[in-house]
A and B are shown apart, each in its own frame.
Chain A
Amino acid sequence: EVQLAESGGGLVQPGGSLRLSCAASGFTFSSSNMNWVRQAPGNGLEWVSYISSSGSHIHYADSVKGRFTISRDNAKNSLYLQMNSLRDEDTAVYYCARGGDYGDYVGYWGQGTLVSVSS
């Protein structure tokens, strides 16, 4: 069974930093493209970032480019999101999301971790 477990969320002040982690199990992590997707309270889904299975291809939403960095450690079956220069509007539940079995849609989701940016 595919399992994705996010951690690292919490309360941070504007301008601060936070690092999210996602522990993956139940599938071959090193063969899977991964994403971070977020959802602000009461709002819709916003794709944040993508990293290919080898880490050679990385993409970001314009809203986070230059502030967030996605990375992965295939030896540890782990995905990360380093978030710097955080803003109020970054407040959201952040989901770790695996690509689908047949394409780059999101086939599997974690339960999410809440990031709150507030002074």
Chain B
Amino acid sequence: DIVMTQSPDSLAVSLGERATINCKSSQSVLYNSNNKSYLAWYQQKPGQPPKVLIYWASTRESGVPDRFSGSGSGTDFTLTISSLQAEDVAVYYCQQYYSTIFTFGPGTKVDIK
């Protein structure tokens, strides 16, 4: 199975500052025939189900603020919140959907400093 890791486990960022979360897969999730990385990012706020932010590693879901961006390819990926807002306090998960066994990363908790 593809193992997903995330770093850091948690981070605290001042309002308006940049937050960066890293995600790494144990093997490539890039499908060469379409040049797409099968990697998604989710946001989960306390007491709520998760919500998809990014898919195909860098495509923003409709309605997601443009301060959220995804980058990377193959095995290394990054979620960036360009200017942290109070409502962005949440746990963020990456997930690969490349293999038949989908796997999530362990999550990164984002707080306000």
Contact = CB atoms under 8 A, between A and B. Distances in A.
Interface string A75-119: 000000000000000000001000010111111011110000000
A50 interface: yes
A73 interface: no
A62 B40 contact: no
A104 B102 contact: yes
Contact of B97 (A45, A61, A104, A109): A104
Given A106-B50, A106-B52, A111-B49, A44 B95 contact: no
Given A45-B50, A104-B97, A105-B95, A35 B55 contact: no
A110 B56 CA distance: 22
Interface in B48-81: 49-52, 55-56, 59, 61
Contacts, number: 62
A59 B106 contact: no
Interface string A22-66: 000000000000010000000011110010000000010110000
B52 A46 contact: no
Interface in B80-113: 91, 93, 95, 97, 100-107
Contact of B56 (A35, A59, A62, A102): A102
B102 A47 contact: yes
B42 A106 contact: yes
14 contacts: A44-B91, A44-B104, A45-B42, A45-B50, A46-B104, A47-B103, A50-B102, A62-B1, A103-B38, A103-B97, A105-B52, A105-B55, A106-B95, A107-B52
Please name the 5 residue pairs, one residue from A and one from B, whose CB atoms are nearest each other, closest first.
A105-B40, A109-B49, A47-B102, A104-B97, A45-B104
